[in-house]
Structures are given as structure tokens and as C-alpha cells.
Structure 1
Amino acid sequence: MTSTDTPDTLLEFAQRWTSLLHGTSFTPLSYDETVELLARLTREAAVALGDPASSPLIGIDIGEALVAARYTGPTTLERTLELVGDDLLEAAGLPEDREHRRRVNAVLGAIGAAYSEAVRERTFTEQETSKQAMLLARAQAEQARRASEARFRTIFSASATGMAMVDTDGKITDANAALVEILGYTKDELGQRPFLELLHPGDAIDLRLPLDQLARGERLQHKTEKRFRRKDGELVWAHVVLSLIREEPGTPPYLAMMIDDVSDRYLLHERLRSQTLTDPLTLLPNRAKFINRLETSMSLAEPGTRIALCHLDIDGFKVINDGLGHDVGDGLLRTLAMRLRTLVDEQGMVARIEGDEFAVLIDRTNSAAQVIALVEQMMAAISEPVAVMRKELAVTASVGIVECSTHSRQPADLIRDADLTLSWAKEQGKAQWALYDPDRSAEELHRFVLASTIPIALDNGEFVVDYRPVRRMSDEEIVAVQALLRWDHPELGLLGPEAFICLAETVGFGVNLGRVLLTEVCKQAATWHRELGVSAPPVGVTLPDRFLRDPELIAEIHRALTTSGLPPSQLLINVDHRMLYEDLDFPQVLPEMGIRLVADDLGPGRADLSAYWQLKLFGVRIPVPQDTGGPLCPLVAKTLRTQVELAADMGLFVIGVGADNARQLEISAELGVAHAEGQSLGEWGLAEELAPLLKP
């Protein structure tokens, strides 16, 4: 594809780019050839911006292509970065959003880095050429010595690279005009001056060993980048090449030193580096810089030093963003960032680590109380009204606090614990802070580890279904069977659903577990129905809440019934009575399919009874009071007895749940419960263990 095949907006961009660059550098390319080159790079950049993985790569191509085309003038890079940064997204027809702006920034960083590296490589080549010219000039035969010396002197004097001759003691014996200009000393001031005195003290130490090795002939060349101090005190970053030169036998060797001023490239690199470590919205350090500061602070801290990390989250920020727009949300974040930075000041660092989340590092603390006092000040500052775009907003923040010894923790642990502690604070409601508790953290960590292994346990078939009978109180005949999902954990043993169902729903596997439980229960109930016929008891199951709310629930149940061959009337599904008031389809659809719903309670009011009647509920499960060792409270007994009577009057199948001992069995009878389940009537067991009890 040529420039004539390029879309108009991209071709116009390439022509503007050419106008900015052409004439700034000595290049073999004509104007039209430059348009052709830049049009190709523009097309590739427009395509790459659509792919986050390719964006930095096109930046490398652009930087290298500019240097290869000899576009290396003093303004080439600056003009390119400004044009690409300001106008490329529009030319490419891409939206000006955060993601594409991040990709453009990545392209800019890659252009700068690749351009600088290519220039440096070309400088290396030129320096090597200069060195070879110096060697050649000095090595010519006697008859050509004067001409050779003249050529060497021409190169030495006219080169834009700073050059000097240094004896093996490290003293400068000769210097060219370029070096005089770079360092600001006269040629006489440089003469007989120790080379190391010109360097920054910290860099001079690093060069002593290489200089000694060159002087002893143990190495022939040394390349490095060091800081030189000019006569006026200003620092100059320079690329330095020191080469050992040996002439004729009997002539002492010397060092040829070449210095190229790379201060502009270094400053550009630092500016780009700063951009990659700064949040563009708030101008606070970003997550990467914050973590680097945390690691540095902890590694350099003296024994006994204490440190604090606070993780802040703005309560309800999504409501502001969604309701008032991202511009308002961004303005709010900028104001809050400024308030936090002012409060923390020299005590540590404030960073924006993600969305509406900030992190505060306090380098040295005396106690948790000191940190809590600062946190309360931060929360008060955040809660002050903020005026953004003629709207007055008031927000609060939740904060997780970790305060500890620097030598007792690792940076990654501190970040994890602060995030965990923030979740504790948010559990208490808005505008709350929480202090890290290692004991609670250990429990949470155990839960997280357990949750992370649920997918593997599903693949390994570690989940099993146990059953226990539901008996009629009058004759203890089995009238139904209740199913329970358990986890046969390889290390922790048999776990009940209370240990993992909530975890599974938290990590998104509640539906998966519900599907496993439903499939297995239908399969087993169908087996009993085939073996026992009409005497087979129906099987009740409590499915995870997330599964009951899943849009595919009804289809999943229909599939399980069809696959297993189980009649719908043989399946009882236990339901939290509160779900009956939600906007869900299954309370109406499942009874129409012939499936029986059993509520876990009657609920507190008449509205519940009306709902049960309208939904054609099959039954209700009423918890049996705990055995306290004494008589049952008369008021509780009267309330429960009334509920049982109401349920019976409505024709509901009433089950007393939790008749685990003789006293609770007596209480069930006193309440008038017609059916009950519990340890006293049959323990949980595998299907094959229960099967003999089901036979007539």
C-alpha cells in the first residue's frame, strides 16, 4: 500500500508530520519519500492502537525508522511526540477515552526509548569510527606521519564529540574544543587535571577500578554513562568511552576518552519514566510507583522501624459516576487527591492505585493510635463538601489500616492485608475504618484458600450428597428424604455446606455447585422411584441462592428431570421465604411443572400467608427450638404452635427441622408438628446407607 492508498485523515496526518520534520535534519530522503515513509508508519500506528499488545511495538518501529532515515535533528523527537500525542487518535478515527489514551502514552514512551537507543547506537558507531581513525592516524608509517597527524588533528579538533587524551595516571594531557564546551573549562584548566575530579563523586568511585584495569592493560575499552560536573556546578549526563591506545614499543600507552553529552536524552527518559509512574488524572503516584516506594522504604528501614499502609475507597463513587457523569467523578477525585496529599505531606506518600481507591504510606509510625488519628483526619477531609461543575457533592470513605514493624512483613503481604482490612471496614457500613487483625486475617486467608480450590474440587468429584429421612411423628414412617451437599475435602475431611456454599457463591461457583447437587439428587431420586414405585419418598433439596436466581434455573431443572426420568412431584425444593417476594419466575413456574416448593419458615406476617396461598406452596420447614435444659418459653411455644396450626389449616406439609435429641423430639410433638427430621430420627448418610430404610 502506498501513500495514495492511505485514508485521507491518515495521509493528511503523515503530510503534517513530514512538514514538521523535513528540513530539520540532513537526510537522503526527498520530501515525497518522507511522506511515503511516514504514511506507512501512520497506517501501522492506527492499526496498532486498536490492539493493546501491539501499541508499544509500533512505537519502537517509529523511533528506529526515524533514526534510520537520518531524522535526528534537535527537534525531531519533540515534534514527533507532540504530534502523535495530540492528533493521532483523531486521525485514526479512534475515541479519546482512557484506554486509547493509555495506549497512545505507551506508543509515545516506546518512540522515545527506541529513538534514544537508536541514536545511542549510531553514536557508538561514530565513536568507534573516530577511534579507528585516531588509531590509523597514529599507526601510519613515518613518511605519512605528518599527514596522518593532520588528519587526526582535524578529527580531534572538529568532532562534535568531546575527546581527550588521558595518561595512565588519569590526568588529561589534551582536550578538544567540544570537550571544553561540554564541561565549561578552558583547555588550560583541563590540562594536567585528574580526570576523576571532573565526575560526580558518586560516579568517580565506580570508575576507579575500570581505569586501573585499563592502565594495567587488563582491558582495552570501557563504556559507561556518568555524570560530569561542569565548571558552573551544573551536572551533565554523558556517554563515555575509554580506550587503551598503544603506539610504538617504548612509547607509554595512553587512554583516548570520548564523551557524548546525552543530558537531553536522559531528561527525556526521566520525563517519560515519570509519566509512566504518575496517575494522569490526579497527578499522584500510581500503583507501580507506590509499590516501588513501599519496597524501598521497607528494605532501607532500620530494625525496629514501624510503618503503616492505609487503603481508602470512596463510598458510593459509582453512583456519582453513573448518575452525574465521569467528568464530575473525575473532578471529585482530583479534589480528594489534593486534600489527601496536603494532609499526608512529608509523612509519607499518597497514591491513586485504581479507580476510586487511594493508598497512603506512612514511612515511620510510633503506634496504631497515631495512624488512626491521621486516618480520621483524612476521612473528615474527604467528607467535606466538594463543588464540581456547579454541583455540590458530599462523599465518605472506608479505610483499611495496617500498622506493623517493617522487619516482620513483606511488601506484598502488607498490600494484601490492607486490601483485606478495607473489606472488613466496608462490611461495617459506610465511613468506617478497620485495623488489621492477624487472627482474623488467618481465618480469612483460610477461607480464601478454601474458595480457590473449589473449581479443582468440582473437577475431582470431591462433592458428595448425603441423605437423611423425614419421618411422620405419629408412627415414624419415612415420608420424605432430605438431601445435603458435602465436600469430602482431602485434607480437612467432610465439610458441611455452611463451610463452602457462601464461598462458592463469592467466587462465582454457586451455580456450578447447584447444578452438581440438582443432577445428583434427581438421579438418585429417580433410582429410588424405579425401585420402589409409588412408595418411593420425594426428595427435598436446598439449592444455593445464586443458582435459584440464575436465569437458566428452570431450564436446568427441566434438563435434570428429563435426563434422570424423575417425576416432577418427587422433587421438593426448599426456598428461603424471603425469595418468594423477589422478582423471580421459579415460585410460579415450578409448581406449574409439578415440582413442590417448601418454604423454610412461615414468615412474620399475614402477607406471607397470603403469598403462600397464592403460590400454591406445598410445605413449610419450621426450626425446632434448641434444647436449653429447661422448659420451653410459653410465649415461644404459643407462637410456634400457632404457626404450625395455621400451616396445617392451609394444607401445608409441615416439617420440624432440627429434632436432634429426645427433648427436641418432645418439643416437636408438643408443637403439633406432623413430620420431623433430625439426628434423633436418622443421621446423614450416603444413598446406599439410607436405601434399606426405604424398602417397605
Structure 2
Amino acid sequence: MDRIVDLPAPRLQVRRLIGGFSLLFALAALVTLGALFNIAATLDRQERQRSTFHATQALEQRLLASRQFLSSYAVWDAAYQHLANEVDWHWAYDEKNVGESLYSASGFEGVFVVDDRHTRYALLRGEPTDLPAETFIDAPLAPIIAQARQVAVDREQVTHFVLFDGWPAVLSAAAVRPDMEVLKIDVGKAPVMLFVDQLTEAKLAHLGEGAGLADMRLEKNTTTHRATPRIVLGDTGYHLTWTTPLPGRQLLWAVLPPLLGALLVLGLVMLYLFRHALRSSRAIDQSLQRLRHSNQALEASEQRFRAVAEATSDWIWETDRHQRLTYLSQRFASVTGYRLEDWLGQPLNQLLACDTTPLASWLDAQAEADPQQMANLRCAYHDPNGQHRYCRMSARPILVDGKLAGFRGTASDITHEVAAHAHIQHLSLHDALTGLANRNKLTRHLEQALQRGSDAPPLTLLLLDLDNFKPINDALGHAIGDAVLQEVASRLREATREDDLVARLGGDEFALVVEAMDDRNEIDRLCTHLIALLRQPIVVNGQRLHVGASLGIAQTGPQVCDAGELVRCADIALYQAKADGKNTWRYFCAQMNQQIQYRRQLENDLRQALEQEAFVLHYQPRYRLQDLRIVSVEALLRWQHPQQGLLGPDTFIPLAEQSDLIVALGRWVLRQACRTARHWQAELLVSVNLSPAQCSRSDVVAEVREILLETDFPAQRLELEITENVMLADIEGALGTLLALKELGVHLNMDDFGTGYSSLGCLRSYPFDSIKIDKRFIAGLTNPNSNDQAVVQAIIDLGKAMGLTVTAEGVETEQQLRMLADKGCHEVQGYYLSRPLDQASFEALLREGDAGRLRSRP
């Protein structure tokens, strides 16, 4: 906004005076002209009212005369005698009792005697005619006859405006009766005499002359202007009008020209005087102090406007240079619960505090920053109820003459956002079922411990796998299995030290990280204690359940100094322990490298399988929860091993990721999925998983573009499922890759949402279209002792708030399906609806359509 400089005071006063005089002059001129026009309009209106009154009176007099004249003929014994029954033409016409004189002397163009069925007697312009009255009168006669008979007892007549030969006329009607008292029954069938007085130009001229009106005429209703006086002639479509004198207009033409001339002269004189006054006022020295204060006030108002316009926070604050609050917006009271007057004049750092940066120091640092840039800081405060709340505060300095005068900013309440982020952060590092650390936290813990170097205490990793757990879970259900896992987690926590880490890696696999325990005897005692502890019965719903445990142990040393290698070695040792009879433990040793040899053999087989294309794709449909329609299908890789049979991806994908085979394997999966799905229904989305290793070792964007062009598959039908691990290695590079993929037109889906420690940040920063809730949360939905329901609801609400489609995977029961529907989830996928199918079975499912699906599912 441009700075506005106030005019000096004397000049401003002169301009105000000039403006006042100009306004008064304009008002006086407007009032004078308004009064003149009002007088003219009043005179014209009064003249129109007067002429209308006289015209109405004249027309009423003519109607009255017509009725009275008709009465002298209709209420007549002789007329009743000769016309009531059989019409006596000789008496009526030849003897001129009701004859030609009615037209030549009285001006009635039509004379008729009618009854209910026909016209008995008819004269048209004084001449007899055999044509009925309806031929000339354009109006229904039945109601007119009825009205005439109705008023005949009282010797009355009726009058109507009708069209006679297409021209307006006055129709007078009276029942033919004797000149004596009669009853209504006597005239109930009496004939009716009609006199038609056509409103010709001569009659209208005579009528207007009698009323003192000029140019009286008839016009059709559509031709008259609204301001013209008129009298509507019934339903004839015509009205009576005349020319009205306009004395007001004559007055305007007489008075307006000299009045306008006088006002113009007076205005020119005032203009000369005003210019002279302004020229004199420019010579007056203006007050610099007043100008400075005006500019300061304007600048403060301008800065406040910018702060309000640019900030997206809830309440606005200002302080003086000592950081004491001088202004709080009304929103402050409704957000924080405090009253404004409780904090005005108080230091800002008594209200807000920051854990990482002292608020006063941070504000002082803003004084040296660019005043056009708004800085932000997350702060905390306690509301009047003592509840801990968070806000995002923005600040900028207030400068007056280049000196710091205070600070101004906004604050947005982000308590719910912080709580949600903390909850998701916790979920990303902890197992939702047991509350133990998850695989992510275990990896981070090992990496941080190994980074301490050789001086750090030795590290021992124990991988623990439950024995006999799968039969319990399969026979008694997931709810009992979850209760067993929770009890195992509790016993493991009780059996370890406070500094030791206990983690659940998934399923029935746990891990323990023990520091400063390099004596094998001490480790053996710990393993013995753990096995004995876990072999004790677990009581769930009155049932005594028994499980055991096998442990694999790996320790850091010269040959094992990497977190991944440490886990791999412990896994090999665990495999050996289970092979040696379970309920025991084994240390990793070099002899166990046979497992490594097996992995190498498997890698060689994998290379040959890739060359021979010994892979197949299975397809698992994804259903829209609203109507259980298939809206997408996930392509899942299977390896047809010559000795081991059909292998799932968990067997060989980790091995492919450790080698360079993942790039070629991923390219094959994408090409095969696009080539196959090209012939399916146009609205079906095809989902393909992208491995983090594949993204980091190849140009994924170029490969996707090339395959889309090669297979002629529409980009908008392709969805790429990506875990957050893709973003962790190279944040900037991953963002560029995802944006480039979006430019191709493909959909992006964050897979296994909620299991990583940066999922929320990824959603905010990366262009995802949808998220997929990890199946571990879905598995715990039906467990009343689990917080998975709250987690799933939070993820669904978060996805909706960010405009993302939310998919739940791993739906295995009808109860899970119904709970997801109640929570507003968009799409579902799992064994309850359909297992992964080969191409032929899936295409058969598509052909079967909704009918078969609805028959097989409640």
C-alpha cells in the first residue's frame, strides 16, 4: 500500500472550508432545482387528477342519461303489451314507437329486444335487421340479460362497455315490464331491451367539450403511456384518454433557463474565490511535527494491516520495546481462555515459552532480521485450567524512524496438531499392539550405539521367536493371539534392565538389545531366564496357553560393526536355534555361514529366473467401501522356483534389494502389469509397488515414461505404491522424483502408513494422492484392549483433512470391514474380500461382476 502523506493543516482547513462551501452551494442548487421540479410535477399531477375527475364525471353522466332514456321505453305499459310476447313490428317500427328516431335523434346505433334464446327485435342504425344481437355485440349477453331482470323490480337498468361492430360502445339493458308494481317472478322471463350507444369521434368530441377537455379519444390499452390519464372501458381492450395541459412543464421552461444561468454565474464567482484562497494557503508554513506524527500513525496502521493480511494465525499481539504486551485481539480470549486485561502490560515471555529457544532472545534477534519477513516459533503455554497447549507464533519488529519500538505478530493454536504429530511419531517408533519399540526404533538404536566407536561398551542383540504361537493364533483367533503377544511383551520388559531395549519386529518375533554384557555366562543366564519365563502358562479368558521361545544372539566385534549385519547374524543364529529343536539359544558363529551360502545360491537362482522370466503376477483387488466395487488392483510378484515351487515376495525381494537385481525385477513387474491391465475396464486403477532400492539405483521417472509409451497404458490408470523409506535416504532427490512422476500423470500412494517415524512429514511435503493403513493396525481393530481403533480413526481423519484417499489393507473379517465403514474409510483390501489371484482368476472375477461378489459376501 502506498504511503499517504497528510496535507499541511492550514491548507487542509482551507480545503475543508472550500469543500464545505461547495457542498452547501451544491446542496442549495439541488434543493432549489428539486423544489422547482417538485412544484412542476405537483402542478402536472394535480392537472391530470382534475382532468380525470371531469372526464369520469362526464362519462358517468352519459351513462346515467342512457339508462334513464332506456327506462322510459322499457318501463312502459304499451311496450310491455306489444313487445313482451309476440313483437308487434307495426306498432314498434311503423308507428315509430321504437323506431328510426332512436338513431337519428338520440344517437343509438343499435336497438334490440332479446330473450334467453334469440333476438326478437333488432334495429341497426335505425334500420330493421334479421341478424341477432350477438352478431354486432362482442360480449356475452346471458349475464347482461340476467342482471337486467335482477334489477327490473326496482325499475333499474344496467350498463356495460362492449365492442359494437368492433368499436367501443355503451350498452344499456333493461327488462321490458309494465309501469306498475311487479314481483320478481313477473319479470323472471321478461324480454330485455338493449340500447347501444357507440362512442364515435363526434360523441367523444362533444363529451370532451362538455368536460372542458381537449382531444378526447379512444386508444387501445397497449398504446397508452403509463403517465397519460385514461379511463379503462371494461373488457373492450380500449380506454378513454385525452390531452391534459401541463402547467408544471410550462413553468419549468419559463423559470429553469434563467435559474441555471444565475447558478452558473454564482459558481464561477465561487470558483475564482476558492482558487484565490488555495493559492494563499500554499504560502503558509506547515507543521513538521504534525506531519511526522501523521506519517508514524499511518505507517503503524499499514504494518498492522500487513501483519493481519499475511498471517494465518488466530490471534494478534503487539509489544513495546521491552516486550510488554500492548495489544491483543479479541480472538485471544476465545482461544486461550484468558481475559485481555489480565495480560495487557505483562511481559510476553510470562505467557508463552519455548523449550529450545528463550523467547526474549528470539525476539531480540528478529530486530536484526528483515522486517518484511515473518519469523515463526513454536511456543507453549498453560490455559486457565492448567492444560498444556501449543501455538505457532510469528513476529516482526516495529520500527519507528529506524529504531526498534516493539514487536508485532500472530499466534495460531496448534495443540491438536502437535498431539497428532506426537502420536504418529510414537506410532512410527513403537509397536501398536504391545507398546514396544518397533523395527524402525531398533535400527536407529543400533546405529546410534554403533556410532559411539570402539570405546563404547559391547552390544548384544537377541532375536527371539515364539514357539507354538502359530497354532494358538490359527485355532483361537487373532484376539487370543494378540493377548498372548501382549503378555510376552510384558514379561520381556520385566526381565530386562531399564537401559535395555525391547522391540517387537512383527508377528511373534521380538528383539532385545543388551549393552555392557559381554560375558557369555551372564548372557546364558539371561537366555535361560527368558526361556523359563516364557514357558510359564499364559492365562487368557480362563484358558492356559503354552508357548516357548528360541533365541539367536549376535555381538558386536571386529567382524560385525554394522546394524544390518548384526541383525542378519542374529537372524542366522535364530534360524539355527529353531533348527536345533526350539526352546534354546544359539550364538552366531562362522560355521553358520552355510545360511549365507544358501542366500547366495538363492541369488543365483534369482538371476536365472530373471533371465528366463520365471515370474508371474498375481492380482489382489481393492474395493471401494461405499459399494464394494473393485476400483483398483495391486500387482503382486510371485517366483515359480523349479525346486521350491511358488514363492512369495518376502522370500526373494529383500535379497533382490541387496543386489542390483531389484532394478530389472521392478522394471519387469511394471511392464507386465501395464501390458496385462491395458485390456481391462477403463476405470480400473493398477497399483505397482516401488522398492526404495529401485528408486535409489535407477532413473525411475524415465523407466515409467518408457514403459507407459511402450505398452500404450494410460498414465492416469497407474498407481505407484511407495513406502516412506524411499524419502529417507535422499529427501530432496525423492521429492524431485515424486514431482516428476506426478507430471507424468500417475497416482502416488504411501504404503504402510503409520509404521514409519516421518509419515506425517512425508504427507505434508510430498505429492501423494492416497495412503494405505498398515495391516498391523487393521488386525488389532477388534481387540478392545488395543488402541488400534484410535490409531486407524486418526489416520482416516488425517487423510480426509489432506484430501487423500485412505485404503485399509489386511481386512480379514466382516467385523473389521464394518468397523472401517463406520470410521469413514474409503477403500479396503484383504483376504476377507479376495486373496491375490492369478490373471485368469482375476479376469473371471471381473467378468462375474458385482452379482457374484454380492452373492459371496454379506
| TM-score normalised by L of structure 1 | 0.39
Structure number with bigger Rg:
2
Higher relative contact order (CA 8 A, sep 6+): 2
Give 1 or 2: higher helix fraction: 1
| TM-score normalised by structure 2 residue count | 0.32
